[in-house]
Amino acid sequence: MKKHWAFIDTGFQDASWNMAFDECLINWHHEGKIPPTLRFYGWKAPSLSVGYFQKVDNKIDFDAIERHSCQFVRRLTGGSAVLHDDELTYSLVISENDPDIPVSVQEAYHVLSKGVFEGYHNLGIPAEYAILDRDSARGRTAICFEKPAFYEMVVDGKKLSGNAQTRKKGVLMQHGSVPMSMDTEMLFDLFLFSSGRIRERSRAAFSKKAVTINQLTNREHHYDMLTQAFKEGFKKGLDLELHPLQLTETQWEEVQQLAHSKYETRAWNINSNKERASIG
């Protein structure tokens, strides 16, 4: 029996607005204002997002972010840094108490990522789930695509997409990056290294760890092509019937206000976790 979810494609927006919308989805679902919802979106400008707990002091080169005309934002979810540029991004919200959602974070990833799995297969890409042994799963890198996590998508061991999850107010929110291409020159310029040689060595090694849709297909894709493939992928993978999400003018204003009051601020994006906890 198909499950009924809402769907919205918010198009290309600023980094702060994108993260505010995802947080609003959590709030609205918690308040019973919206059903389980799938969202697709893009980015107005190249944007570096970092995980909720990720340290940025002496790690991120903010001069380079300005030089590359990038935006910067801290996510509500954990994990490592992601450069959002030529990609489709998805997010979804569903109650933690939904019978289809496992208690285990890893198993919840497995269930919810079936839509991503089917989306890649709709593009003719033989994606597989990353199944890691305990030793491989340990440790974290500063850059998301350097290492797959449990049940993320890989082809020949190379990571295809990055996903992150949080659970707040009884709601599970998962979002993920599905790159069509990746500017590794820009990506590695945005991080601080002890020398240029180490930066170039890390950049060269990255190509053995990550791969994009355009590289695998030898074809240039665009946003609309991915939205079609992955919308059908989520419908099949999660057995969904999708209905357009209708928001009120007040809800759209709520997103803008949250973007301005939280996700555009230094207090949220830059300051230490302790400082952010005291204001949040």
Pairing label, strands 3-13, 82-84? unpaired
Buried residues in 183-214 as b, exposed as e (16+ CB within 10 A): ebebbbbbbeeeeeeeeeebeeebeebbbbbe
144 a catalytic residue: yes
3-state secondary structure 157-186: CEECCEEEEEEECCEEEEEEEEECCCCHHH
The residue from 26, 93, 112, 144 that is catalytic is 144
Q: What is the C-alpha separation between 138 and 119, in angstroms, rounded?
A: 28
Q: What is the C-alpha separation between 196 and 218, in angstroms, rounded?
A: 31
Q: What is the C-alpha separation between 220 and 272, in angstroms, rounded?
A: 40
Active site residues: 144
